Structures are given as structure tokens and as C-alpha cells.
Chains A and B, each alone.
Chain A
Amino acid sequence: MIYDSIVIGGGVVGASIARYLSLYDISVALLEKNSDLCTGTSKANSGIAHAGYDPIPGTLKAKLNVRGNQLLRELAPQLGIDLKNNMAMVLSFNRDDELKMLYERGLKNGVSGMRIISHDEVLALEPNINSEVTAALLLTTSCIVCPFSLTYAMGENAEANGAKLLMEQEVIDIKKCDNYFIIKTKCDEFKALTVINAAGVFADKINDMVAPHTFDIKVKSGEYVLLDRSEGGLVNSTIFQLPTKEGKGVLVTPTYHNNILVGPDSVLRDDRNDNATYADGLEKVMESAKKSVSNINYRSIITSFAGLRASTASGDFIINEPVDGFFNAAGIDSPGLTSAPAIGEYISDIVSKHLGRKKKANPILNREAIARPSVLNRDERNALIQKDPRYGNIICRCEEISEGEIVEAIKRGGTTLDGVKRRVRAGMGRCQGGFCSVKVLELIARECGCRMEDVRKNEKGSEVIL
């Protein structure tokens, strides 16, 4: 068969594009090289729906950021995305002029709900902020969003609307024939009328398979440390420092699930797979965050990680059609997570026009998230357990995750330890899977009908038991 559209890349951008395309009368397949969605940049970032004060006015970034923030807040209840409108503030320490410029930039970008607040107001809202703060830009539309929940919500909703999500399909070649493309992967071949490149840090490689070389992706690593939920409440809003040319700087933020996240730095890496953390980088991140919040308890760190940003020389997102029917969504660095739905909306609009297709008459616009008994009230929780007793059997004690949730995560495609962890947080807590990983291994083996030895942490070669 010839698909109408093939999306390359199963990160948040690819999943969002697939989702928006699937709302049209368009047959869609998404090709992901790894074994699950959300395994690259999308899994390791700040998890912020940025307001849009930072991008340069007039850029695609500015436009799609502001639109993305709006869309995310609309979509969250429909698609069961873990999103909380916690607000953000950019702190100034005697650089109030720059704060004012940032405010004006925000206005130009169309950001609503901004105002500059005084030292006293900052400390009234956030008592743990370094008291030398002179003023801050308050961003009331800023949200925290769980990037996993966003990506899976997009993916699952795309599937519900008929899109095919195909894992372990690494694209190795693309050929343009008369009016369609042949996309070769390591094990298959696909045909499609249109191709959308959302390959993240490899987007330039994909582009070069079929289009002239016009851009290079440089990989910038961002390292983070994550603190125990016991530190939740240290700050309630997302705390930024004034941006530098390195980016938005180190932030201190609660996560949707009440951990405290500190990071990132921005370090160029030669190797596009180098998402390792480095001692000096982590130290700098921790030191830098102290400028915003001086009493961060780093003894409560439960994990550290690094994510890779796909940056380009232009600094703006590259969304174009270098070859008739081949579209790039490349160079999607920060605010890529926020912009993802807007990129999906934008590209699906162009692609549908290219294909001459209309919106589906009755697309499925809602998606049910995996039930989470620990946040239900007692009656709801007991009703759920009565219906399915597995929701009463707690497997991950730190995050209070039940067997029922884990089984559902496996059913929805989380057939690895990390896949389960990203979907329902088993192993995401303070013991980092020390207690529950053995149980989760057993559940995956049981549900998938495989041996314990076959269960992986994530990709091929990551079997947990040798």
C-alpha cells in the first residue's frame, strides 16, 4: 500500500504530527527507530509548557511556542495529559532593564498574562527564592507538563484515529519516485505520498537522504538532577534566570508529579548518542541553581540524566518542504515540547492541502489516560479495585503504582522496564526501582509471554538478566 503520509521519528514532535494528520482523511504511519515512542530528546527535558517570552519575535519558534502553549492547555483534559498551570517567573538580580526587555519581547510574541513583580511579591509567592532578587517577570500561562504523558497521549490518539505506529523501523534510505517516496528501513520498505521528517537529532541525516544538504544538526546536551518528592514545595512555580546566549539557563521547577527538577546546562557533544552525564556538568548545574534558590537540598537527589537538543545554526525551527512532498520538522530544540502540538497543527495543515484532503467527519478527540488509583478519592478507588483487584496490589511502593496500572502500561506498548516507567512511573521514585523492578520484570514476562531473560530495560541488548 501507499500511505498518504509517513512520519519519521516517534518523539513528541513526530507523535503530535501523526496525531494531527490522523484527524484528516489521511492514512498515516509513524516510523520510530527505537522500540518505543518517547525515547530520545522527548524523554529528557525540562517538562515545561513555556509561555513564549524567550524566542525572537517573528520567528517560527515564537509563533509556535505561543500557539503550542495555548493548545496544550486545551488538549490536556481531552487527551489525559499530565499538565498543571503552575506559572513561572524569570528572576532578575539587579538586571531589571533586561527583564523589561523580556517583557516587551513577550508582548510582541503575543504572550498573555505577564507582569513584572517586585521583590516583595516574588518572595510572597515563592519564599525560598534567593532574597537578593530585585524583580521578576511573572508568566501566568506557563505550565509543567509530563513529557511522557504528552507523547503517549499524542501517539495513542493518533492510533485511535487510524495511524500506524511502527517501532524498530530505523530509516536508512528514502527515494523519490514519480509521485511517491520509497522509505527503506533496516527491515522493511514503505511507500508514501508525503514524508515528514521529525527525526530529532538525526533530522539532517534524514533530510540528506532525499533533499539537498541545507542544514546541520548540532547536539547540545542538557544535564539535570531530580530531587525526591520530599522536597516538593520548595518552589511551586517554575523559576528561571535571565536568559543568556546559552539559552534559558538553569531552572528550578516542580514536576507534574511533585519532584523538584534542576537543570539544564548546555554543552555541545560530538557524538549524537552521548546522553551521558558528566561530573563537572552536574556540579555546574547545581551551583548555578543556587543563585535562584539557595537552600536546595541536594542530598535528596534521586537521579540525574541528560537530554540532547537538536540545534541548528539559524536558531529557529526548520519547517519546510525542500522536495515536493517531503517536509522537515527539524532543529526542534527548546521550546520544542511546548511547540509540538502547534507544529503538528501547522504541518498537518500544509500536508492536508498538499494532498487535498479534508478533516475526518468524526475524528476521536479524546483519549483516556491510564487509571491512577492513588489520586482517586476512596470511593472511586475502591470501585476500581472491586472491578479489577489488580489495582489494589501495589507494586511500586515509592510512587504507589499498582499491578493494574503496570499491566495496562504493558498493553499500551510499554513492554520494557523503561517503557513501563515512562507510562506509569513504576521505578521513577526514590528507590529508583530497587524494590519494584524485579516485580515489573515478572509482570512484563507474564503479560508478554516471554522469559525473564528476554525482558529489556529499553533497546535491544539491554536485557536486564544476562
Chain B
Amino acid sequence: MKEVVIIGGGAAGLAAAIACYDAGLKDILVIERSQFLGGILNQCIHNGFGLHTFKEELTGPEYASRFIKEVERREIKALTSSMVIDLEPHRVTYVNSTEGVNTIETKAIILAMGCRERPRGALNIPGFRPAGIFSAGTAQRLMNIEGYLVGKRVVILGSGDIGLIMARRMTLEGAKVLAVAELMPYSGGLKRNIVQCLDDFNIPLLLSHTVVNIEGKERVEAVTIAKVDSSRKPIKGTEKRFECDTLLLSVGLLPENELSKKAGLTLSPVTGGPIVDNSFSAGDGIFACGNVLHVHDLVDYVSEEAALAGSQAAKYVKEGFKEKEYIKVSTGFGVRYTVPQYIQKGCEDVMLRFRVTDIFKGSSIVISSKGNVLKKIKRQVMSPGEMESVKLNFKADEDILVEVVNE
């Protein structure tokens, strides 16, 4: 019987493994489906990672390699090219080429499978289905790992950070990026990326626009973009046609929780991830962290959260399950969700992470219990593209409500 099995060897899984080890566990196994540890960081060759964790700007592979070295130094066992195919509390079943299908028993499980990109189909973009339509991450992999430029004239739908980063990458490698269209009236990406990935290269950002047609039988030949109204429906007569050979989609990330469902966990309809308490426990010795739990904006927060989940899993393994009382964290106006959704009664200094529903300027985050304000923080600006963090520097004794209050 293993002490802990960690599913996923990306940013979250690596940090969780290190934390488990440092909290005293020795029989740890990381199971990674691809050939290498590091996850999606390996293809994120741009810089900007690690400002919080290492106080310096690293590229994705550099950030990953620091964690991989720590895992290796601790001689934590990692199985690569191995895919977990079934999950129950305390039982993990995986398959690979050397062992075939194998089931192992474990005291605890940490879910760190990350997320996937929303595909074209999920948007129901009409038109033909030719070659040349890529999710931004797929194009990023082809470009940064395999060394292939996937197209020469490119339109990008979605201004999330991956889309913005790819606009710059493709431009640097010789492609012409004609426009980035964004359905919302604001970009989901960092300001810094808008300036350094788009403005630097005079790539237009078309807010409140979407793709309404894709032309081309074999390869993309043109993409039509139209303005959308306040209910995000295309406005007739605003169509602009771009002749291009490639359409990149950067239209959102979805936590990958098919295994969590197999394990019988309840998923939040808002985050798409498991519902957890402040020890990142989803119940039955299963913990979750990173993008499988909720999609993060910065990898530093993934590492931080995963380290906490790892140490809590270790605590569970050593101390066993203890019956606890919980308080519930509810969301009010302007707050889409919170993680955790539950807090063990009496806990202090719990870090609450959440996303807001809209852009708020000069508003406050208010945390209250039965109408009593426990904490109020003024924020100059909050945006759905960025994760908010609030430390609850009080003892949680009763259900709390988190909301945005406009002044």
C-alpha cells in the first residue's frame, strides 16, 4: 500500500509531491501520462513564471525543471507514459506499456490532472471543418516542442493569455497575425500580454467580436468576424472577412475531471472541479489541487495551492481521518465561486481564492457572517481574468458569505 498517489506530474503534481515528502511521507508515487514530467509548462517557453515563487522571471521549462530537480533530489518515484484509467477512493488503476493494467492501493490520492482547452465544437462555430483550426495550446505544442509553424496568416479567437502569447510567438516565427477577436467587452488576458504580445506588433484586438463563419473545404481560407451585442449575439452588417489559413482558438480551459467523476466526487458546476474544504480534501482520502480544481491565472498560485494540498494529504495519511465540522462559504453578488467551498470549523488563516463575474473598479470584497462584516478589502480593480486571493485572518466559526460591494 502506497502512502500517497499523485495523478499528474505537472506544476500541481510536482509541488504536491515535494510537499508530501517534506511533511514526512516516503512512499509517494507520481503518475504522469506523457513521456516527461512538467506538464504543459514544457510548451510554455515564454517568460513570466515564478515571480511569486522564486522572485525572478522564468520560462515555463525553467520553472518546471526547478520542481523536477527537487523531486529527483528527494528520489520521489514518478511513472511517466502511464495513464490512470480508473479511480476509486484508495485504489488507482493505470495502464502503460510495461506493466499493462495495474491497480495499486494507497492511503491518499492527490488529483493534479490539470485542464484541457475548450474545443471549437463547444462554441458551435458554424461553417466548414477544414484543416487549420487549432486550439492555441495544440498550436503551441506543435511550434514550441516540435518546431513547426502551423500557419502563415492567422486569426485568433479569444484573448486569454494563451491566445495572446501565441499571437506573439507566431509573429516572431514569421506568421502574420491579422486580428485577435474577443467575445467579451474586455480581455481575459493580462494587460502586460496585451501590450507586449499585441500592441508591440500592431495586432488589433477586437473586443465584443466573434467568429461567425469559417470558409475553406480542405484548409481554412477565410474567417468572418462580427461584432456582438450585449447578449453576445452577432450583429448583422458588422461582419469583417479575413483571408487566412489558420484559426487559433483560445476560448477557455476546462478542468479535466473525468477520473474524479469515476471516483464518485461531486463537482462544482461553476469551477468544473471537485468541491473541497480548506485542506483541499474532496473526501475519502482524495485531495485536489491546481487546474483540475479550478483554472488558475498564475502557475505560482498552482504551486502554492498544491504544496498546501500535499502537506494536508500527508497529515491525513499520518493522522488518519478525523470527523470534522464545517462551515460553508457562500458566494454573493459579483463572486463566481470560491475555493475552498467549505472550511473546517475553527480554522484560522485560510486562503480563499475566487473569481469575480465582471470588471469592478473601486469596489470592495466583503466577507460577512449573518450580516456581520468580518472583513472588507477595497480593490482598485478586479477582473474575471484574474484570480482573487483573500486570507481569512479570523477564526471561521459560522457560515460566511463572500460578495463584491460597489461603493
Contacts and interface: CB of A to CB of B under 8 A. Distances in A.
Interface of A: 225-226, 230, 273, 275-279, 281-282, 301-305, 373-374, 378, 381-382, 385-386, 389-390, 392-394, 397-398, 400, 417, 430-435, 437-438, 442, 452-453, 456-466
Contacts of B357: none
B148 A389 contact: no
Contact of B219 (A373, A453, A461): A461
A464 B131 contact: yes
Interface in B172-222: 212, 214, 217-219
A338 to B, nearest CB: 25
Given A230-B258, A276-B126, A378-B101, 17 more contacts: A225-B124, A277-B124, A277-B127, A278-B126, A282-B126, A381-B101, A392-B97, A392-B99, A393-B97, A432-B120, A435-B116, A452-B146, A458-B218, A463-B131, A464-B132, A466-B132, A466-B151
Given A434-B138, A435-B116, A461-B218, A393 B131 contact: no
Given A434-B138, A438-B141, A460-B218, A394 B83 contact: yes
B126 A466 contact: no
B101 A382 contact: yes
Contacts of B33: 394, 397
Interface string B54-95: 000000000000000000000000000101010000000001
Nearest to B151: A466
B152 interface: yes
B95 A394 contact: yes
B153 to A, nearest CB: 9
A434 B117 contact: yes
B135 interface: yes
Nearest to A378: B101
A303 B119 contact: yes
A439 to B, nearest CB: 9
Contact of A381 (B100, B126, B132, B234): B100
A431 B116 contact: yes
B230 interface: no
B150 A465 contact: yes
B245 interface: yes
Contacts of B101: 378, 381-382, 385
B394 interface: no
Nearest to A283: B124
B261 A390 contact: no
A389 to B, nearest CB: 4
Contacts of A461: 217-219
Contacts of A385: 95, 97, 100-101
Given A230-B261, A279-B212, A397-B83, A462 B130 contact: yes
A297 to B, nearest CB: 10
B148 A452 contact: yes
A155 B375 CA distance: 70
B131 A462 contact: yes
A398 B85 CA distance: 10
> Sorted from nearest, which 5 A-B pairs have the closest CB atoms?
A303-B121, A461-B218, A432-B119, A457-B131, A382-B100
B246 A466 contact: yes
A393 B81 contact: yes
Contact of A304 (B124, B131, B149, B152): B124
Given A277-B127, A378-B101, A382-B100, A434 B121 contact: no
A393 B245 contact: no
B380 interface: no
Given A397-B33, A435-B116, A465 B148 contact: yes
11 contacts: A230-B261, A304-B126, A305-B129, A381-B95, A385-B95, A389-B98, A392-B95, A392-B100, A397-B33, A434-B116, A452-B146
A432 B98 contact: no
A464 B127 contact: no
Nearest to B128: A276
Contact of B85 (A386, A390, A400): A400
Given A302-B121, A465-B148, A390 B97 contact: yes
A154 B120 CA distance: 32
A301 B124 contact: yes
B122 interface: yes
A374 B33 CA distance: 16
